[in-house]
Structure 1
Amino acid sequence: MAYKTLLTIVTDAATARPQMDAAVALARREDAHLDVLCMGVDRTQTGYYYAGATAFVQQDALDRAQDDARALESAMKERLAAEDIRWSVEAVVAQIGAIATVAGLRARFADLVVMGPPYGESRGQELEAAVEAALFEGQVPVLIVPEKCDTAQIARRVVIAWNQSNEAMSAIRKALPLLKAADLVDITVIDPPAHGPERSDPGGQLSQWLARQGVHVEVSVLAKTMPRISDVLNRHVRDSHADMIVMGAYGHSRFREAILGGATRHMLEMAEVPVLMAH
């Protein structure tokens, strides 16, 4: 398997630079085609306007969304004009409640979706909807690229967050093209259960399977010495000078993650290096 079609969804040119840089670098490295979806968002909420105003409000919001999409399309074409990769740019308009449908359909026919963080300042709810649509409706891996990171070298030293879950295994399988090309892949196990199926050799079977795939792999077993798993992972990434994390996404329901938090949400909020996720 190789990544031959990459997709990135842009809703704001000002915050899109890191994800565009990463998408271009990966497209060049993988000899892949890069699709850029420029999305203008219609944020009208029909039920909140007085009778008779809805049509005027909707038309005004639609016109603004179309203008935003066309402006994004021009900016992305200008950004890609000098690049030595194959690319296409498309402008679309979506209502805030229909983003999952639009993004999910486009993501279905990509091998990898490259996005910026869905949470944080200047991040609208449309980014969270687009990321979740790619993971759930598109069933493709998503690479989240933080705003402040060096995208010149991605996936040279990779940390795998291994907890024996189906989501983690799915992410690892879908990350294989990057894992095979990495200089080193570190299977990181945090507080393995004393009576679990891997109690005598945490990460051992996964290590063997990856080695047979041609991956240069090692195993790190860490104690949970900080309140959250994501904190331990981020510290390990810094200590090992890793430049990417591979992990499963949303082992709990998205509602529970949003309300109570979880490793997925915390990682996306705090990650200092790109995170490749799959569900």
Structure 2
Amino acid sequence: MRYKSLLTLAASPNRIGPALAAAAGLARSFDAHLDALAVGVDRTQVGYSYVGSGAVMLQMALDRAEEEARRTEAALKAALVAEGPELRWGLESAVTQLGALSELVAMRARYADLVVLAKPYGKGVGPEDEAILEAAMFEGMAPVLVVPENSAALTGRFRHIVLAWNQSREALVAAKQALPFLTAAERVTITVIDPAAHGPERSDPGGLLCQFLVRHGVKAEVAVLARTLPRVSDVLVRQCLDSNADLLVMGAYGHSRFREAILGGATRNMLEAAELPVFMAH
């Protein structure tokens, strides 16, 4: 299994650097085609406008979104050209309202093996960045590689990968969809945090997954950790730092997205804290 069709999206000309560089590096490594989409987002909330001003405000917001899409497209094109002639790529731009963004992203993501995006939380990040990430995973049914601002160009070969395992469907989907990365890694640590005392894997946490991965040629081992910090994400961050991992693989949004948004969760907390690339699938 190899990734042959990659996708990256940007909603601002100021946020294309890490994701574009990472996607281009992976495309060259896997001999894949890279598609890039520049998105201009109309963030108008018409319900809060004054009577009679709706049409004017809508047109102004649309003009701003179109200008933003043009500037983002120009920045993406310049970055793609700078990657050199050996990179195969395509570029499109689109304008949409925030409420229709999911449909636009999903339509592209469904036909990609992997979506590469910038970190959706932090300074200068808008609500559209999180919406793009969720749309790619949920409606687009694609795995997503999230790269932090300080990420260098990626080659597809990670030295040490931490794979978060909790026996959930989401974690299993992530493990299977990350196989191109896992098989190329020098070492993969299946990390189980506070396994259930009465669960189906109580006698051998992570054992069946390790067996499955080893049969695919993955150099896998299992680490069972106690929850010594307040949040699961804190333990994962510590594990990645202590073991010098350069990629984290995890299932995303085990709870409902509404509960994650209101209360937080391992997915959101991990993305906020992560200083290494994070591979997620749902």
Q: Same fold (TM over 0.5)?
A: yes
Query: How far 1:138 moved relative to its partner?
Result: 0.5
What is the distance in 2 between the residues matched to 1:153 and 1:27? 8
The residue that corresponds to 2:9 in the other structure is 9
Equivalence for 1:260? 263
**Is residue 251 of structure 1 aligned with residue 266 of structure 2?**
no
CA distance in structure 2 between the aligned counterparts of 1:156 and 1:36, rounded to whole angstroms: 27
Q: Match for residue 59 of structure 2? A: 59
Partner of 2:118: 116
Gaps of 5+ in 1: none
For residue 16 of structure 1, report the CA deviation from its aligned partner.
2.1
Paired residue for 2:237?
234
The equivalent of 2:71 in structure 1 is 71
Structure 2 CA distance for aligned equivalents of residues 160 and 186 of structure 1: 6
Aligned position for 1:171: 174
1:195 Cα deviation from its structure 2 partner: 1.6
Find 2:211's aligned residue among 205, 208, 228: 208
Name the count of aligned residue pairs.
279
Alignment partners' CA distance in 1, 2:264 and 2:82? 42
Secondary structure of the residue that 2:14 maps to in structure 1? helix
> Structure 1 counterpart of 2:188, which letter?
V
Please report the RMSD computed on the Cα atoms of aligned residues, expressed in angstroms: 1.1
- CA contact under 8 A between 2:23 and 2:154: conserved in structure 1? no
**1-side partners of 2:237 and 2:54: how far apart?**
47
- Are 2:89 and 1:87 equivalent residues in the alignment? yes
1:149 Cα deviation from its structure 2 partner: 2.8
Corresponding position: 1:182 with 2:185: yes
Partner residue in 1 for 2:159: 156
Tell me which amino acid in the other structure corresponds to 1:129: A
Q: Is the 8 A contact 2:16 2:76 kept in 1?
A: no
Instruction: Please say if 1:125 is aligned against 2:127.
Output: yes
User: What amino acid is the match of 2:5?
Assistant: T
How far 1:17 moved relative to its partner? 0.9
Scaled by the length of structure 2, the TM-score of the pair is 0.96
Structure 2 gaps, min length 5: none
Residue type of the alignment partner of 1:245: L
Amino acid at match of 2:75: A
| 3-state DSSP of counterpart to 1:255 | helix
> Could you tell me which amino acid in structure 1 is paired with residue 99 of structure 2?
G
| Structure 1 Cα separation of the partners of residues 151 and 108 of structure 2 | 26
In structure 1, distance between residues paired with 2:240 and 2:226: 15
Q: Quote the residue 1:35 is aligned against.
A: 35
SS state at 1:197 partner: coil
Q: Deviations over 1:189-243 (max 9, x none)?
A: 1111122111111111111100000111111111111001111101110111110
Deviations 1:131-166 (A, max 9, x none): 110111010101111112334455321100000000
1:269 matched residue in structure 2: 272
Percent identity between the aligned chains?
A: 59
TM-score (normalizing by structure 1): 0.97
Change (3 A) 1:113 1:235: same
| Contact 2:136–2:142 (CA under 8 A) maintained in structure 1 | yes
For 2:280, the aligned partner's letter is: M
Q: Which amino acid aligns with 1:111?
A: D
Distance, in Å, in 2 between the alignment partners of 1:150 and 1:38 is 22
Give the C-alpha shift of residue 48 in structure 1. Answer: 1.3
